[in-house]
């Protein structure tokens, strides 16, 4: 597979080299730890919403959980920012790995399911609690499935890449 | 201070603590005092936490003394095996105790249902008895390493020690050599455990701090069971990582800090459940404000768990080369 030359240009840029090779406390591992924290917020908030829709903590009023979407989106933007920086550090590593595209697709599907859940269930004030649970059930299940897949695909990126850098490709 | 010091500092507590916990628990059951039951259960959970760094510091102590004259590797391996079995049973005891504690903390309208089932408490009792026995063996075999004066002639052998040593070898083989996919799958499970823990503990703590105020606390607290499950997954997968590559972790300062932070978070949580601070919270209805002490606990819990996640991600940064 031909790897676009632009990846080499990015890898040779100052910021890319700094993130990758700097011994600084605030370089690669700092960004990676925020990527883990952002995941915890994004997926953790989604999972709590999904579990409640599926009947965990049934006595808990469902409508106020809409507030968790704020945490979810905060986590999402942390992921976009930290993920972009990781891409700047290792573009060849990510874009030459099919698993990376699987991960992005699953994240898109999971976020889409959560967004739909918000629009169809939480924003429809005519629904009763049991109505919300019934209407949201399928979306909650799909969201859990997609999130599990996205986290798994993301975790496996560290073990499935073909080339670490442009210059190391076969 | 090296890890041999740390091991000596820690290693008497889980053994003595288990005996004291068992005694206390027996008294609480005989006298049927709920407060005392909760204290014993909290004690078991705390010992289960502290047993983890105690076991791990043993690898460091081994490094420090293995070259010394009169120290037998066979005795160290016997002790390590017995210690691992004691840790495994202590973790199970701690987990079952935590479930019982969580049941105590539920404030269901029917008071009969808000207490742990008899089966749950019987399980804790049986496990604590077995763990006490294993702790005694771990203590004895450990004492033999540095106190040859208490030995009668030949080196003593221990069935538990030998079984545990074989278990350590087979776990190491499973994690490292059996398949290249075991480690990534364990990592994946460790991340899923993280999500369950942060999501559920986070939402409960945020509510105590005053966010999402329309949510009543008692039903929200149901989610903590999922957090405990996530934490259990992470203790198991974490121990497997450690048994796979003990040398990678034990001298790593970031890893040591992470463990210390988990201990701190656990201790604060136990304090919260056992001081009655939680019981006042159980009544917290929609729109009501939590007491200041509870807010302090909730804020420290959030900060500490986030620190645990960040430190965990930094472990490779702290690798000793």
- What ipTM goes with this model? 0.95
Q: Nearest 10 degrees: CA dihedral of B63, B67, B69, B73?
A: 60
Q: What's the pLDDT at B113? A: 55
For B11, the token pair is: 């290693």
Q: What's the pLDDT at A1? A: 62
Residue A144 lies in a domain: yes
- Residues in A closer than 8 angstroms to B205, CB to CB, are none
Q: What is chain B's Cα-based Rg?
A: 21
Among the ranges B109-123, B130-144, B156-170, B192-206, which has the highest mean pLDDT value? B192-206
For B296, the token pair is: 């302090």
Q: How far is CA B251 from the centre of its chain?
A: 20
- Residues in B closer than 8 angstroms to A71, CB to CB, are 202, 206
Task: Centre a 10 Å sphere on the Cβ of residue B49 and count the other Cβ atoms it contains.
Answer: 24
What is the number of domains present in chain A? 1
Nearest-by-CA chain B residue for A32:
B313
Arithmetic mean of pLDDT, B301-317: 95
Arithmetic mean of pLDDT, B12-27: 95
Residue A33 lies in a domain: yes
Contact B55, B83 (CB under 8 A): yes
In chain B, residues 20-59 whose CB comes closer than 8 Å to chain A: none
Please report which confidence band the pLDDT of residue B109 belongs to, taking 50, 70 and 90 as the band edges.
Answer: very low
For B187, the token pair is: 């990592």
**Which residues, at least 6 apart from A29, have a Cβ–Cβ distance to it below 8 Å?**
B313, B314, B316, B317
In chain B, residues 151-190 whose CB comes closer than 8 Å to chain A: 180, 183-184, 187-188
Please report which confidence band the pLDDT of residue B205 belongs to, taking 50, 70 and 90 as the band edges.
Answer: very high
Contact A64, B226 (CB under 8 A): no
**B221-267, pLDDT tens digit by residue?**
889 889 999 999 999 999 999 999 999 999 999 999 999 999 999 88
Say if A101 is an interface residue toward chain B (CB within 8 Å): no
Q: What's the pLDDT at B1? A: 67
B67 vs B139: which has the higher pLDDT:
B139
Q: A89-93, B69-73, B123-127, B233-237 — which is least confidently predicted? A: B69-73
In chain B, residues 131-150 whose CB comes closer than 8 Å to chain A: none
Say if A49 is an interface residue toward chain B (CB within 8 Å): no
Residue B4 sits at φ, ψ, to 5 deg, of -65, -40
Q: What is the pTM of this model?
A: 0.92
Residue A1 lies in a domain: no
pLDDT over 70 at B76, yes or no: yes
Contact A110, A141 (CB under 8 A): no
Contact B287, B214 (CB under 8 A): yes
Tell me the residue range of the domain where A163 lies.
Answer: 6-168
For A49, the token pair is: 């919403």
CB-CB under 8 Å, B199 with A48:
yes
pLDDT over 90 at B147, yes or no: no
Hey, of B114, B196, B198, B216, which one would you mutate to test binding to chain A, going by the most A CBs within 10 A of its CB? B198
Arithmetic mean of pLDDT, B276-289: 81
- Residues in A closer than 8 angstroms to B183, CB to CB, are 159
- DSSP letters for B130-155: HHHHHHHHHHHHHHHHH-GGG--SSP
- DSSP letters for B106-120: ---SSTTTTS--HHH
Q: A89-98, A131-140, B95-104 — which is least confidently predicted? A: B95-104
d(C-alpha A107, C-alpha A147), whole Å: 7
Of B133, B51, B137, the C-alpha closest to B90 is: B51
- DSSP letters for A58-96: TTS-SGGGGGHHHHHHHHHHHHHHHHHHHHHH-HHHHHT
Say if B316 is an interface residue toward chain A (CB within 8 Å): yes
Q: What's the pLDDT at B280? A: 75
In chain A, residues 129-148 whose CB comes closer than 8 Å to chain B: 147-148
d(C-alpha B54, C-alpha B50), whole Å: 6
Hey, of B313, B314, B315, which one would you mutate to test binding to chain A, going by the most A CBs within 10 A of its CB? B313
Residue A59 lies in a domain: yes
Q: How far apart are the first and last CA of chain B?
A: 20
Say if B282 is an interface residue toward chain A (CB within 8 Å): no
Q: B250 to chain A, minimum CA–CA distance in Å? A: 20
pLDDT over 90 at B31, yes or no: yes
- Cα separations (Å) of B249 from A17, A116, B6, B75, B244? 28, 43, 15, 23, 10
CB-CB under 8 Å, B192 with A159:
no
Q: How far is CA B143 from the centre of its chain?
A: 23
Residue A111 lies in a domain: yes
CB-CB under 8 Å, B212 with A65:
yes
Give the length of chain A: 170
Of A72, A63, A169, the C-alpha closest to A125 is: A63
d(C-alpha B42, C-alpha B267), whole Å: 9
Of B200, B313, B316, Cβ closest to residue A36? B313
CB-CB under 8 Å, B313 with A61:
no
d(C-alpha A151, C-alpha B311), whole Å: 19
d(C-alpha B108, C-alpha B116), whole Å: 12
Q: Environment class of residue B75 by beta-carbon count within 10 Å: exposed (0-12), middle (13-18) or buried (19+)?
A: buried
Q: What's the pLDDT at B190? A: 98
**A9-60, pLDDT tens digit by residue?**
999 999 999 999 998 889 999 999 999 999 999 999 999 999 999 999 999 9
B109 vs A7: which has the higher pLDDT:
A7
**A114-157, pLDDT tens digit by residue?**
999 999 999 998 999 999 999 999 999 999 999 999 999 999 99
d(C-alpha B178, C-alpha B210), whole Å: 49
Q: What's the pLDDT at B269? A: 79
DSSP secondary structure code for residue B212 in this structure: S
Residue A26 lies in a domain: yes
Residue A27 sits at φ, ψ, to 5 deg, of -90, -125
Residue A49 lies in a domain: yes
């Amino acid at each position: 597979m031909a790897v676009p030359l632009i990846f080499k240009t990015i890898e040779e840029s100052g910021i890319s080299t700094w993130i990758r090779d700097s011994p600084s406390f605030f370089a690669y591992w700092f960004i990676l730890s925020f990527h883990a924290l952002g995941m915890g917020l994004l997926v953790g908030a989604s999972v709590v919403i999904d579990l409640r829709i599926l009947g965990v903590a049934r006595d808990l009023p469902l409508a106020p959980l809409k507030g968790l979407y704020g945490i979810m989106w905060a986590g999402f933007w942390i992921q976009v920012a930290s993920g972009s920086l990781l891409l700047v550090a290792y573009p060849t590593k990510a874009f030459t790995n099919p698993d990376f595209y699987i991960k992005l697709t699953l994240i898109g599907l999971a976020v889409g399911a959560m967004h739909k859940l918000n629009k169809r269930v939480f924003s429809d004030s005519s629904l009763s609690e049991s109505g919300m649970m019934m209407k949201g059930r399928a979306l909650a299940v799909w969201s859990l499935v997609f999130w599990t897949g996205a986290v798994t695909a993301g975790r496996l990126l560290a073990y499935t890449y073909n080339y670490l850098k442009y210059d190391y490709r076969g | 201070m090296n890890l041999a010091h740390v091991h000596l500092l820690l290693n008497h507590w889980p053994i003595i603590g288990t005996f004291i916990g068992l005694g206390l628990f027996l008294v609480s059951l005989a006298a049927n005092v709920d407060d005392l039951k909760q204290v014993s259960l909290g004690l078991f959970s705390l010992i289960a936490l502290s047993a983890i760094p105690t076991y791990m510091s043993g690898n460091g102590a081994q490094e420090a003394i293995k070259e010394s004259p009169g120290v037998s590797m066979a005795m160290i391996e016997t002790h390590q095996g017995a210690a691992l079995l004691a840790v495994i049973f202590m973790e199970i005891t701690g987990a079952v105790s935590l479930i019982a504690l969580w049941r105590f903390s539920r404030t269901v309208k029917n008071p009969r249902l808000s207490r742990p089932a008899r089966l749950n408490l019987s399980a804790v009792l049986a496990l604590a008895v077995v763990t006490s026995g294993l702790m005694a063996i771990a203590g004895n075999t450990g004492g033999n390493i540095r106190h040859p004066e208490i030995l009668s002639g030949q080196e003593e052998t221990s069935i538990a020690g030998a079984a545990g040593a074989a278990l350590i070898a087979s776990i190491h083989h499973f994690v490292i050599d059996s398949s290249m996919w075991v480690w990534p799958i364990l990592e994946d499970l460790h991340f899923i455990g993280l999500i369950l823990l942060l999501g559920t503990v986070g939402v409960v703590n945020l509510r105590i701090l005053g966010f999402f105020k329309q949510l009543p606390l008692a039903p929200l607290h149901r989610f903590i069971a999922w957090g405990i499950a996530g934490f259990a997954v992470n203790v198991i997968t974490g121990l497997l990582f450690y048994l796979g590559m003990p040398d990678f972790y034990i001298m790593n300062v970031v890893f040591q800090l992470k463990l210390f932070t988990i201990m701190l978070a656990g201790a604060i949580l136990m304090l919260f459940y056992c001081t009655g601070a939680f019981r006042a919270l159980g009544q917290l209805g929609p729109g009501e404000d939590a007491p200041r002490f509870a807010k302090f606990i909730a804020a420290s819990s959030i900060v500490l768990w986030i620190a645990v996640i960040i430190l965990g991600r930094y472990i490779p940064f702290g690798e000793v080369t």
